[in-house]
Amino acid sequence: MEGIGGDGASVASPLPQWGHDAWRMYQYYLDKSTPHSTYRWIGTLVVAAMYCLRVYYVQGFYIISYGLGIYLLNLLIGFLSPLVDPELEGSDGPVLPTKGSDEFKPFIRRLPELKFWYSMTKAFCIAFLMTFFSVFDVPVFWPILLCYWVVLFVLTMRRQIGHMIKYKYIPFNIGKQKYTGKKASTSSGRVRGD
């Protein structure tokens, strides 16, 4: 009885095993690319350029581009937003500094940079693949879609940038911050008595 169950399992296992191995290899290379943000973004720009060239040469699929634009705008909002919104959160927990005398609190994004990059790259790849199916080539007047997206972008980013200025946070940083030593004081060696 043990031999019968074992043979049936070994016949069906190569396909799931191959899929599992492919997924593990994909995860391995994704993990290896994590610290190389510049190269990851260059790869995303290449994928985006391929998509733009495909849409330009086919002269269609504007509805996919519109959907992609809305999705990327949503990702950008998540990337630029703090995890805890000071306007919605009461003053019972840590808040972002609003005055120069406030203590520095680190900016924690609602959507981390790696997930932002991964979602953006995946969206461009899926949109690129969708351009090979004619069912998604819906005839639309693309200037209307472009104008609507620009209005949506301006209104959303105006609120987001106003929020960033009000709470004085900068969501962009390049790499880890390093301690470079004590800053030199202007009156080196002299103690000022007031």
Q: Is the pTM of this model over 0.85?
A: no
Q: What are 57-66's pLDDT values in tens digits?
A: 988 888 888 8
Where in the chain are the domains?
21-85+108-167
Q: What are 23-36's pLDDT values in tens digits?
A: 888 888 888 887 87
Q: What is the dihedral of CA 115, 120, 125, 130, to 10 degrees?
A: 120
Give yes or no for residue 190 having a pLDDT over 70.
no
Residue scoring higher pLDDT (158 or 184): 158
Q: Measured between alpha carbons, how far is residue 10 from residues 2, 13, 150 in Å?
A: 12, 5, 56
